[in-house]
Structure 1
Amino acid sequence: MEVLRGSVRTYAWGSRTHLAELLGEEVPSPHPQAELWLGAHRDEPSQLLAGDTPGDAPGNGGDATRSLADVLRDDPQGALGPSRRQRWSDRLPYLLKVLAAEEPLSLQAHPSAEQAAAGYAREEAAGVPRTAAERNYPDPLPKPELLCALTEFHALAGFRDPAETVALLRALDVRALDHHTELLAAQPDADGLRALFTTWITLPQRAVDDLVPALLDGCVAHAREHGPFTTEARTLLDLGERYPGDAGVLAALLLNRFVLAPGQCLYQPAGSPHAYLAGAGVELMANSDNVLRCGLTPKHVDVPELLRVLDFAPGPPTLLPGEGRGPVTRFTPSEYFSLARCAFAGEEADLPDDGVDLGVEGPRIVVTVEGSVRLRTSRGQCREVPRGTAAWLPACDGPVTVAPVDGPALAFVAADGLGV
């Protein structure tokens, strides 16, 4: 068990306060801080720190001794365990992030395992450089992901029920959209959504430049009247202002707009279109870079490949119920990862002296976002992990317990989804 220092990614949509406060840095930060990465991603693997100083927060100094990627390479048996080493081909299968968004992210979707493997093989055979802007599949792996909200979290995800979308379009009362509205009303199913989405995403730029302003005018009028879709209208106005002339603003009309409360967990399976709008959360995903963008971005959008990947089946977003009793709730939607949310009120009368058994083995990463927790391994190691600090627990540490230290605490534990 060792202190793990992550890396902060400074994307333009990030927050100048949330991660800076978490890491004990100057607030506001000089640049937007979007994500804290904890894992062995090839672009920026986390670092294991020398010594036993629990206060060395990720990104807050401390002498880095070696990267987590080097640990996996040098001792995959101890880091992953025998069966997991074989299953994951000596790779850490997940990447843990703390995400803080003040502006919307791009509209995107991720491929299934079969689609990723086929797409990677196809692009390799075609000789597309892995760093090329038009490359869709830099690796052969799927990228399911989940997000557990730390604050109120706003998002778009999954295709809304077509009947509700027809009601939204009619309420906005945009004459230029009347024909599209009636086409969906005549075929209110996945095929109708596919047809309308395809129409909008392939419109000539001149048509987009005419249609989006007309849509935004309808949103302004609806919001002024406090109509039933005011939240959706304001979201579209925000997207239209940030991404003028982007067909993704039209595509956003078709998606569920919702808000997660702190502690709620959203899952993004293969093919689900989604865009995070604002808020902070802990994100856990398969360790892959395969992203198919749908819009709200200046980056490459491969429409034919996107249409192969998207799942047009309508329905509400996938909220995970979680399993467990007491302070630990576990979310395990994929074999690639599971997330345990460890929430302690600080007054648990029936908490065992050694803490709560996490019930997962294999390689684990712990990050504390409130208070401080104490980890204890089956080998007798004990370490405090205070707010803004992370820890690496290899498979050879065996079972681990977690307990609060002097009051309320909130920590998250990432593991694969294979259990014990």
Structure 2
Amino acid sequence: MKWFRLSLQLNNFPINRAEELLHQIQEIPEHKYREYLEGQRESILKFHIENNEFYRQFCPTQNCKNWADVPVMKKADLQQPLQNRISKGFSSRKTTYVGKTSGSSGQPFIFAKDRFAHALSWAGFNNRYRWHGIDLNKSLQARFYGIPLDFYGNVQERVKDRISLRRRFNIFNLSDEKMQNFLQRFKNTKFEYINGYTSAILLFSKFLKNKSIILKEICPSLKVCIVTSERLFENDKILMEETLGVPVLNEYGASEVGLIAFENREKEWIVNSEDLYVEILDEHNNILPFGKEGRVVITSLYNKAHPMIRYDIGDTGILSEESSFKHPKLQKLIGRTNDIAHLANGKIVPGLTFYYVTKTIITDAGDIKEFVITQTAMDSFKIEYVSETDFDKNQVQKITAAIQKYVGKDLKVNFERKHTLQRSKSGKLKQFTSLI
């Protein structure tokens, strides 16, 4: 049974058509690939100017005749009701996939993808995973992610996990006792790969090192580990490969655009040039040549439901001088890192856990512009946010309850509204920081 394909088809995502198009794109020869990219980016630009009122105002026709003049889209531009940003003909949930960004940059918003574009993203993931012997239709995944704790969200995720051949390792508590339970599951289950947050898998790797255990020796079916959502440092990668006993691969993606880059067998980060157009821009929005460091700006070439055109994702990177239009390579990425929260009761919580907390304050109205969370003491956290108004009593109670559910009880949470938040030199926000 091809579970991956079946799960997408049951949800009306045309994966067969998406895989067929992906194959056709990959067959385009190198000397014609620039023509393909430029033609497709002009096509999606024209579509949104003609069919999306929000984008027509953002990019008036007379100002967007040349690609270099097309304005760069910031996350703040998208923090308004989704109904204002949706394209004509895609207002129904039947025609679109609607999701929320994680808010790991501190700037959350709701987005939409048409069902074909979403299927094309998944076709790309499966194609890259096959580079390393992983088939989403039959390979069992050990999934180091969080999970919603509300009844409906929890059941929904578990059903999706079951259909998608994923077995969830709950990272909300990474104590030694819990990781011992993780170890037992690997002994009893034929997992083929690990996928999840870098910080959570790193903590598990350190646990294995302290126990002098190599994971592949107790789970021989394991082939690779794929880390995502947080930056992987080289020293950490070495430790993880030693303790897991398998290659550790970098996956770079974002929910709103899909797969951006993936590591091949030669340890090169191959950029997705099939359904995305990736540029590196300087601070004045000038296009930089290969080998120069700048802002990562992405165009989704097939998403007709919502414009993602010259979208500044909030990262800084370099495309290798060895890159071509068909085979761009990511030489360097300054991604987002997250600290770990240590609680007085010994509980260890990865910073990405706060993704599940921030979902409680992401509203379609886009009234929360930015936020950061800081752990100031073992039992104390501070949330600084930019908004038109102060949090009301109900919002405070909702956020506090979410922290108690996902992080721990008897914690103090202070809220501080600000006009602006302090940023790093690169201009990015770090969503979570621990001062402990």
Structure number having the greater strand percentage: 1
State which structure, 1 or 2, has the greater radius of gyration over its C-alpha atoms. 1
TM-score by length of 1: 0.24
More helix by share: 2
Higher relative contact order (CA 8 A, sep 6+): 1
TM score, norm. by length of structure 2: 0.24
